[in-house]
Amino acid sequence: MEDIDKENLIIIGGAEDKKGNKEILRYVSSIIDKNKDKLLIATVATESPKEVGESYNELFIQLGVKNVEVLYANSRKEATYKNNIQKMKEASLVFFTGGDQLRITSVLGGTPLYEAMKAAYEGGCVFVGTSAGASVMSRTMIIEGNDDESPRKCTLKMAPGLGFIKDVIIDQHFAQRGRIGRLLVSIAENPEVLGIGIDEDTAIVVNRNGTFKVIGSGAVYVIDGRSITKSNVSEQFPEELLSIFDVNMHVLKKGNGFNLNSKVPFEEDRLRNEDN
């Protein structure tokens, strides 16, 4: 029987600490058996797969993971290789590095490796993504938008993601790059989904029961558009500023959580006390 409390996704806002306490990477390492389980580093998003793969490989070895491999699948041809498919089948945790999220879906989409990835996820493999690897986890992902600007209509480009987490749109490097405007545009255009903005060195740990908790040093912002009473979103006057009424936002930090089913935030300690 599937454990509904098991973590199945860890979504990192990018620039996770790699030199200090390494809280997030340490947490990633702790949820698998360091002596037996395979941790697979997927470098498909980056144009420097060898350097990035070797860097994360060294980090996870330093954190005590004995069985670390790098998945070099940086072309659609490489996404058909049997050894890459076998690596995916054997993995207990897959870690997607940063880079360009559109590279991930354009390289993997519809390939045998993507099918193996979906099967691994359904079978209990944990998927982790940082930066571009975070955005790609949702069904719809932001691929381009204005940073550090007031929200404007028709300034956002979105595309299908991997679809591991439903009914959300994720943005990363959130406060550091001033991305509140573009996430508001995405929710004005798609008010039925939640917008989740994740700061650098911050992550959400998503469980199969539909809740997540926050870890790391920054904040997570959840934008709920169901209460919107009015917006001016349309293709007319595309450079016009976005106007949006009655949007709801939660700001969460370490120790806070969120129920994706009920759309309600909570404090982890309070939830544990209620369960006891």
Distance CA 19, CA 68 (A): 19
DSSP H/E element including 184: helix 180-189
Catalytic residue status for 200: yes
As to burial, measured by CB atoms within 10 angstroms (0-12 exposed, 13-18 middle, 19+ buried), residue 192 is: exposed
pLDDT for the residue 276: 45
**Measured torsion, CA atoms of residues 35, 40, 41, 42, in degrees rounded to the nearest 10:** -170
DSSP H/E element including 120: helix 112-122
CB 196 within 8 A of CB 221: yes
Is 110 a domain residue? yes
Distance CA 170, CA 178 (A): 14
Is 243 a domain residue? yes
Does 235 have pLDDT greater than 90? no
Q: Which domain holds residue 256?
A: 7-275
**pLDDT tens figures, 106-143:** 999 999 999 999 999 999 999 999 999 999 999 999 99
Percentage of residues in the chain having pLDDT higher than 70: 95
Looking up residue 245, the CATH number of its domain turns out to be 3.40.50.880
Is 1 a domain residue? no
Is 118 a domain residue? yes
Distance CA 135, CA 140 (A): 9
Name residue 83's amino acid: N
Q: Which of the residues 131, 135, 138, 231 is marked catalytic?
A: 131
Domain count, the chain: 1
Q: Which of the residues 7, 16, 189, 200 is marked catalytic?
A: 200
Is 82 a domain residue? yes
Does 273 have pLDDT greater than 80? no
pLDDT for the residue 4: 54
Is 34 a domain residue? yes
CB 91 within 8 A of CB 83: no
Q: Which of the residues 135, 138, 173, 186 is marked catalytic?
A: 173
Residue 47, both tokens: 């144009």
Is 2 a domain residue? no
Mean pLDDT over 43-48 rounds to 97
